[in-house]
Amino acid sequence: MARDAAKVTVMFLGIWALFAAFGVVLGYGNNGLLALVRRVTFLSAVYGIVVLALNIQWGYAGLFNIGVAGFMAVGAYTAAMLSSAPGGMPPGLGLPLPIGILGGMLAATIVGLVAALPALRLRADYLAIVTVALSEIIRIVYNTPAFADITGGASGFDNLPTSPVNSLLLSNPSSTISEPTALGDVVFSFFSQFGIQRFTAINTVYTVGVLVALLIVYLVLERTGKSPYGRVLKAIREDETAAQSLGKDTQNFKVRAFALGCGLMGLAGILWFAMGPRASITPVTFRPNITFYIFIALIIGGAGSNTGSVLGGALFASLLFEAPPVVRNIITDAFAVSADPANLIEALVPIASGDLVPLAGFLLNNVDTLRFMGMGVLLIVLVQRRPDGLLGARKETAAAVPLTEDTRPDHGSAADNGGGSDE
């Protein structure tokens, strides 16, 4: 446990140091530096939460759910519908935010249960197809013009609930430049000592909140893993038939694990899209692509390990997702690459005359596309070479007592030499 905490801390410190260094190279001031590090931290934290949720389903219960995007959509949309202002467009119900969050998680759980009850009988690959189809159905239903009055249709749910940080720090939560509250005064004056603007300060506070949420989810899941329920889940992960033969109703446990995971995915959807910095809920966001990113993150960390899930989520979000564009900016600045060929052929032709600059410019400009190709290659290599990820292969004992000591009352007495050789 202590070692895991150290690993996660070291990794986050490393990520922060790396991106702070990036910011320094790019010549950012304090405000820009914090904004960059904050963005990476936020993404790492939300990925951490949703990867933990997927780990419950796939890592522990062996349920191959590739409908993550759909469950996040249900959470985010429901929370927004429940607690956004009734006057906006599309109108919300104006309920307090905690009720909205709980409602969103509950809705995602219920959708998960409805899907799980019949679907979990299926083979793993059938379940995969069912869940991805379900997530597409959910997305298209939110997207359809028929319900645009309620969901906002293709342009998304614009009327987002007020961020809790805004209500905490500002007298008028809908305006960033309004008079701060007493607490807000303390926070803003603290940040302004370092030349950090109010907007960045608000987002930073929110990100710290998400980190706390990640910690809570992690601790709850670790605790669950040590409970009788978690022990059965681990048993299912190791050998479902053995767990069944011990009289466990594995189907029941799997349904509950699936529902729990879906609820947490709903929470991640809310924290990620319904509030906080640059929140926006649009159907396009919930395409299956995002599900696959989460899967890559889980496979990097190693299915079956909570700590690995957090590590994988953070590493994916920072190194694979956020870093490439930043590195591109650094290279473009450092080498003054201004070549911008319109297509691959124009970039390749000058190589014949020894001119590599157009190709470099083209690669840099298409770093987003290259990033996705790289993710594909990484996924293939991981599945082939390291299917257990960074931390998935280790043994986690499920027993409550340490197994390293021999606690049998009179050990050795039954040895074949008739006993008596007790040292």
Contact set with another protein (CB under 8 A) = 64, 118-119, 122-126, 128-130, 132-134, 136-137, 140-141, 143-146, 148, 292, 295, 299, 343-346, 366, 369-370, 372-373, 375-380, 383-384, 387
Structural tokens at position 150: 């309620």
Eight-class DSSP state of 275: S
Distance CA 47, CA 218 (A): 12
Nearer to another protein, 54 or 165 (CB): 54
Nearer to another protein, 23 or 361 (CB): 361
Give the count of alpha carbons within 13 A of 274, CB side only. Answer: 30
Minimum gap (Å) between residue 125 Cβ and another protein: 5
Q: Is 245 helix (H, G, I), strand (E, B) or coil?
A: helix
Nearer to another protein, 160 or 359 (CB): 359
Nearer to another protein, 10 or 383 (CB): 383
Eight-class DSSP state of 281: B
Nearer to another protein, 38 or 254 (CB): 254
Q: Phi and psi for 157 in degrees, rounded to 5?
A: -85, 100
Minimum gap (Å) between residue 393 Cβ and another protein: 15
Distance CA 60, CA 236 (A): 7
Handedness of CA 231, 236, 238, 240 (dihedral sign): positive
Minimum gap (Å) between residue 370 Cβ and another protein: 7
Residue indicated by tokens 């009055």: 149
Nearer to another protein, 130 or 270 (CB): 130
Minimum gap (Å) between residue 244 Cβ and another protein: 19
Nearer to another protein, 44 or 143 (CB): 143
* CA nearest to 209, candidates 267, 259, 265, 285: 267
How far apart, in Å, do the first and last CA atoms of the chain sit? 34
Distance CA 382, CA 188 (A): 45
* CA nearest to 35, candidates 200, 228, 271, 215: 200
Distance CA 378, CA 380 (A): 5
Residue ranges of alpha helices (H) inside 337-390 are: 344-348, 357-365, 367-385
* CA nearest to 176, candidates 201, 154, 159, 151: 201
Nearer to another protein, 211 or 339 (CB): 339
Q: Is 13 helix (H, G, I), strand (E, B) or coil?
A: helix
Nearer to another protein, 70 or 277 (CB): 70
